[in-house]
Amino acid sequence: MGKVVGDKAEAFLRSLEQNPVVPAVRGPDRDLEAALAGDHPAIFVLGGDAFKVLGRLGSRGRRPQIYVNVDLVGGIASDASGLRFLSRYVEGIISTHRHVIELAKTSGLITIQRLFAIDSGAVERGLKLIRSAQPRFVEILPALAYCEIAAQYSEVLDLPVLAGGLLRSWEDISAILEAGAVGVSASDQRLWNGA
């Protein structure tokens, strides 16, 4: 299982090199349909009902990798059974919680641990949790804080980092990528398809 997860994670990284923007959608609505219709490295599902989302994915042949934020999506518990269930339908999960990241790794899911950069104390606590959980990727929110964090906390660059939240322009995205992020997640559809 580890090699399969590693291969999928590497495929995600390679696809970010071609298109560094991951659509972030709130649930099984028009945004999800638009994201599924595009050529994206992945889709981050950040809300809604898990079963409705999985129903929309259905039997689609070719689709981007799907990462479900188990802290925000309803219908699936973020326990071992819920994560094993999700692993049959999606490639990965997103969570702020160390124990969820650890459980998801044992379920064969690619893990993205979110770090909310609200102040230096939150960043330091978040980095401590990340060192303990060892997710495959880290996502820093809000995205506009990424450049400052990368400059002050070089260890954040030890893992592939994405940045998400409050992105409004391609200038923002370019600055974040130049500072070392491998990609960004954005809910604004205008940013999904390049500058």
Angle value at C-alpha 109, between 163 and 190, nearest 5 degrees:
35
Residue at 103: amino acid letter: L
pLDDT in tens, 21-45: 999 999 778 899 999 999 999 999 9
Least confident of 37-41, 48-52, 89-93, 154-158: 154-158
Could you please report the per-residue DSSP string of 43-102?
A: EEE-SSBHHHHHHHHTT-SS--EEEEETTT-BSS-SSHHHHHHHTTT-SEEEES-HHHHH
User: Based on the number of CB atoms within 10 Å of its own CB, is 171 exposed (0-12), middle (13-18) or buried (19 or more)?
Assistant: exposed
Q: 33: number of CA atoms within 13 Å, CB side?
A: 3
Q: Which pTM value belongs to this model?
A: 0.95
Least confident of 19-33, 55-69, 72-86, 94-108: 55-69
Share of the chain above pLDDT 90, in %: 82
How large is the average pLDDT for residues 12-27? 95
pLDDT in tens, 88-123: 999 999 999 999 999 999 999 999 999 999 999 999
Could you please report the per-residue DSSP string of 121-181?
A: HHHHHHHHHHHHH--SEEEEESGGGHHHHHHH-GGGGGS-EEEESS---HHHHHHHHHTT-
